[in-house]
Structure 1
Amino acid sequence: MLPGGMMPVTQLVAMIRSSPPKGAAGLLMAMPADRLPLLAAQLRPADLARLVPALGATARRDLVAAITDERLPALVAAHAEALIPAVPTARLDGVVAAMPDEAVAELLDALPADERRRVTSVTDPRRERGVRGLQYRSHLRHALGRANVQVAAAPQLPAGSWLVTGLRWRIAVAAGFGDDGSHAVRDAEDAAYRLRADGALAVIDGPAAAGVLAYCRSSGRPVNVVTWADQRHDGHLTRALVGLFQ
């Protein structure tokens, strides 16, 4: 029995599992704060995760406080955008450490600025380049979409390379984060060869090396490198694509 002669935990668990999310959330939050961990410990992560959308900000903080450090990452993973603000900074490092780089990158794009800073502050610095590279690829793909072209991944290409089609032309595009173009140009040309594309475009977040620019000009093939860091460079990206289409 729960302290105070209350309903047995097993009966409460059964009611929560059989109730719609809003009703189940009400049952969970009706528990006194000091008894909530006892009930939460008997619920599966899936049981708890389905309640999150029905909980307000205060209730989410209470729920997070009731979950052990060992179980918290699994719960947050299901509703990271909603639950990260409820996780105290002192417990946040363990949650972020359990998330794959792809999930951290997506989370950083979804969170408001203050929460992004909190997540970044507890992220292992050794993961920074990988996470930022994944963000760059995602942002670049959206930018290509804004250029009014069709963008598609291909199973024979590595992540960060796409086939862009427009005006009956096919261009292989490769992203290079933290690269001076040396690797990205190679990746773009390799993708163009595999896809039998009409041209290759390397997109990097900083200036291209002089040797890379010279290579693109003298190669005799439709290959180019362009700098794109954010929406301010959308025009450069579009002009580079159009130049290869022509």
Structure 2
Amino acid sequence: MRVWTASGELKFTLKQARQVPIIAMRWNHKGNLLLSACLDGSIALWDMHTGQLRQEYKGHTGSVLDVDWQDNTTFASCAADKSVIVWRDGSPTPVKTFVGHKSDVNAIKWHPAGKYLASASDDGSVKVWSMASDTPVQDFFGHAQQVYTVKWLPRSDKAIVASASFDGTVRVWDVQSGACLRVLSAHTAAVHCLSFSSDGRYLASGSFDKNVRIWSIKDGSMFKTFAADDGIHDVQWAAKGRVAVAIANSQVALLDPLST
């Protein structure tokens, strides 16, 4: 892994003793710690003041597919072993282990207030967990194929989560009521990525149908569509309304969907 300054200067090259493919990386909220999830089932925690390996975590029996921070010291990981594990900086022992998915867990995401943890799986379900319970707070079923990612509405007073599936749909779920609020159907291939606008009014979705679609959360209508030259790997909404798009043809596009 390489860590760069905002001006483009290389600050650190992070290397473990063994060469293992890295699946995901995540900063903690403070930005002083960096996680890397590895194909061999391990997780590395790096100190960004020194660029040194701070700790290694080994608890999964399958490839770690995603990691996410609850705060500055607590994080979760998910893996091909069907489990979700919660860890804490300074302790190699898991704080909590969630078991319930029937296949690979592809993605996890903490609620903005840290109250819930959502997980997406190849079993077609989205599960919402709480540290106060060993069983899911909610089990959401409705997708016809694998669920690839989940993202929370960016409001700490709400508990609304969106999921993207290989079935070509995006679903929006309400944790409190257990209801599916929206089924967003327009993509014609697997949906790989989601991103809410900072005000929570819009949702961007990217698919291997080569389209980025912008949805209105209020009524579920499709606001805009942008066509690319290849499949969409990732979308990220900036604070000022622009959307960065990672495309499979090695290009990055910057969209301005809210401009008139």
Q: TM-score, normalised by structure 1?
A: 0.25
Structure that is richer in helix per residue: 1
Higher Rg: 1
Greater RCO (CA < 8 Å, at least 6 residues apart): 1
Q: TM-score, normalised by structure 2?
A: 0.24
